[in-house]
Chain A
């Protein structure tokens, strides 16, 4: 990767040019030569990667989906097809010699760059987790990405941090880990509530007097609302970095309100968006200004989720990634199943002036778009919107929703536990009205005990809580 000080100030045209060059190199020198899956794909479809001259031509190439990588039954090593093969013996030598004749800089492959170093997995929320291989190059890039994210957030080594991202062998946790260790701040890698339990995480934050906490949005809200019950205060807390799960603006606002309510020192919230497959995560300088991507590492496209057509600047669509500098598992036009509501913009950030492309708006999960059958036909129900609605309400502590089918009609049942001091009857009534006005689906509401909801959503069992259960599939 380039120097961040340079990349973050490059004009958009220069970024495009740099990306086009990196893309050509990736296609011709890596994918066509040493990538088992794409090499075959190109051959079978008569694709000549040399025809792709710039990032604008990329749309000519096919998209890759999760199902292409997932191992079929009995073939556990199928995902290896997405891993670059190391250079053969002698390959490097001959290249070097040839180039040296023309006095060119050696660009031959360094075998070390291809050596497997570590393995992370995708979250596996909807399918089985996919193994993503990292080499030394990838790890160096992950560390660089971590340092860049820290720069975007404006953290320094004086910011003591509690990393409460749930431990999993994934890029979220490890990027955060490497960035704190490289920064040299005092940090505790808790592994999240799943590993330590809420009380110990809060206790650690309290005894360390940590101003910064990295945590999933749902867990942050739960923690802030139950802080008092454990006898802790948040007097040293200044900011929360949310990640692992997507954080809509409604959640940002709610966390801010809660931080104020518990008399935190400050109430800054910053967001972090990471995709294990991308091998780096992106930070947002301030909520609403978009996730600052790293254009010398990964190329981001936004496509129509139905047709796969590339969309224009700022248009809502699915995030598609292409590695520009990676080894190990390498992906080309990989569909993330994530929808960016504000698309991609290439204008400099109006807040921090960094010029890198930004992914705007909220991230929605495609898997949470449901088709519900009703009396008047089929309605699209966006579960991401339900999540936003619930985040926006101050009277809800925890919740989940079930989609059930009775006879041939689908209905939505929302089960809640009110925040402390809430009149449950009033909550149920107003929630019922709100659901009725916002969603064209048959819905009902119920209240439940705290333990029951904590268990159901797996608050300390899964990487992040599961809130929508589609019971029709089972």
Chain B
């Protein structure tokens, strides 16, 4: 792991040299020797790991897909094969560490092996697939802490700030990276566990008690939380920055959030975004700006990003739209090569220094068509058309008349062979002309998702909030697929 302040000033050529070097060493000394899955795969495909000289050679390696790692009923321990672990069998086979024992003694071998020992883990949040564990060794936790530190550094958070972490508690990346970031930078924080854990009212009390300068949220819950706070006439005037994780932040929502903060006494709150994934074991910060999008700053000493054509798998050029493919660099615990994230970076990868802050590390475009919580059915066939349900998010989140919303897919008469139906539940912001709103929504939904709604159903806000599981679920249920399987 490099010094961040040094790394983000390095010319890209040096960064690339560093990545080449690191990748060579990682492939030969870790992946090939200690990763059961890749070790077998490389042998099967007769790929010599020493032939991987640099990041350009990655394209000669096969992709790894979600289903390669995810546990199944037949193979519940699948994910273990992605863990870098010099266990006894492998140690003996390669006698690498055994040899060392002749000089360093057994204790030293034990310590070396211990370096790989997983001490912490996160799970993916899949709703249909079984959750996949991603393991961290002690060394990896230092990487995670460093990533947290870098995120705070980009967001210009200092030790004078007080952070309230409102991510739902779970063995998930979002909560824990925020926690570790505070530990590393030595920033004071309250790790609430979110509304489900402490209750929305207690969380508001905590805001008024602590007077934090930074708040960290999942966008959907944040919008709900702030509205409740406005209703109760709370004072959140201490807040200067808010950053989001867990899902994409549509521009319209940024404005709504800022507007609510004004009502709570906080002017000009900076809304910041992050992009992360369990598989990469870290999340990255978007370059802060009030109205422009400069992309997410990546950590080139911890990973290699590629962008590929989602159909052919061929790498695309700089700043060209493509699917994000992730490769771990110098991690222990779980490590993946050329992992197909399923996320599309519309503006691609950028290697020019950031026009906003001047940092030289690679950037991935802000516009990522995240499949986020909808990974399993974001591209779903409804009425025979492939529908990108992601498009509901920017549309609904930014709509000035909408307070809350939910999409439900059903089958007519609950018959699996009958027609697909798609319902939109909405709770409006105050009194609106419903007829006009229905016409507007029908037209916009058709434009953005290419699907005609079966019906739009109006609900009072509290009822819809409950239906969304705002206070009971880890993440609210925006899109329900209730079609019988």
Contact = CB atoms under 8 A, between A and B. Distances in A.
Contact of A184 (B114, B168, B169, B189): B114
A230 to B, nearest CB: 13
A144 B458 CA distance: 55
Contacts of B202: 121, 124, 128-129
A186 B77 contact: no
A181 B209 contact: no
A327 interface: no
Interface size class of B (residues with CB under 8 A): 20 to 34
B171 A76 contact: no
A195 B119 CA distance: 20
A169 B191 contact: yes
A184 B138 contact: yes
Nearest to B182: A118
A200 B77 CA distance: 15
Contacts of A128: 202, 205
Contacts of A116: 162, 188
B119 A186 contact: yes
22 contacts: A76-B205, A76-B208, A116-B188, A117-B189, A118-B188, A119-B209, A131-B209, A131-B210, A167-B193, A169-B192, A169-B197, A181-B141, A184-B114, A184-B119, A186-B117, A187-B120, A191-B169, A194-B197, A195-B168, A195-B197, A196-B170, A207-B76
Nearest to B211: A77
B190 interface: yes
B118 interface: yes
B131 interface: yes
Interface in B447-461: none
Interface of B: 76-77, 114, 117-121, 131, 133, 138, 141, 162, 168-171, 182, 188-193, 196-198, 202, 205-206, 208-210, 474
Contact of B206 (A119, A168, A188, A190): A119
B110 to A, nearest CB: 11
Contacts of B117: 157, 184, 186
Contacts of A444: none
B114 A119 contact: no
Nearest to B165: A169
Nearest to A76: B208
A79 interface: yes
Q: How large is the interface on A (under 10, 10 to 19, 20 to 34, 35 or more residues)?
A: 20 to 34
Contacts of A80: 209
B119 A118 contact: no
Contact of B197 (A115, A117, A167, A187): A167
Interface in A394-408: none
B191 A77 contact: no
Contacts of A119: 190, 206, 209-210
Given A128-B205, A167-B197, A169-B190, 5 more contacts: A80-B209, A157-B117, A186-B119, A194-B196, A195-B197
Contacts of B190: 118-119, 169
B210 A195 contact: no
A411 interface: no
A140 to B, nearest CB: 13
Contact of A169 (B76, B193, B474): B193
Contacts of B474: 195
A184 B120 CA distance: 9
B171 A207 contact: no
B209 A169 contact: no
Contact of A168 (B77, B198, B208): B198
B169 A117 contact: no
Nearest to A112: B186
A167 B169 contact: yes
B136 to A, nearest CB: 10
A131 B206 CA distance: 8
A115 B182 CA distance: 14
Contacts of A196: 170-171
Contacts of B114: 157, 184
A185 interface: yes
Interface string A107-140: 0000000011111010010001101000000000
A191 B138 contact: no
Contacts of B188: 115-118
A189 interface: yes
A169 B198 contact: yes
A77 B118 contact: no
Nearest to B193: A167
A84 to B, nearest CB: 15
Given A121-B202, A131-B206, A167-B169, A185 B193 contact: no
Contacts of A76: 205, 208-209
Given A77-B208, A116-B188, A181 B171 contact: no
A191 B198 contact: no
Which of A80, A128, A185, A186 counts the most B-chain CB atoms under 10 A from its CB? Answer: A186
A9 to B, nearest CB: 28
A168 B474 CA distance: 14
Contacts of A117: 188-189
A118 to B, nearest CB: 6
B198 to A, nearest CB: 7
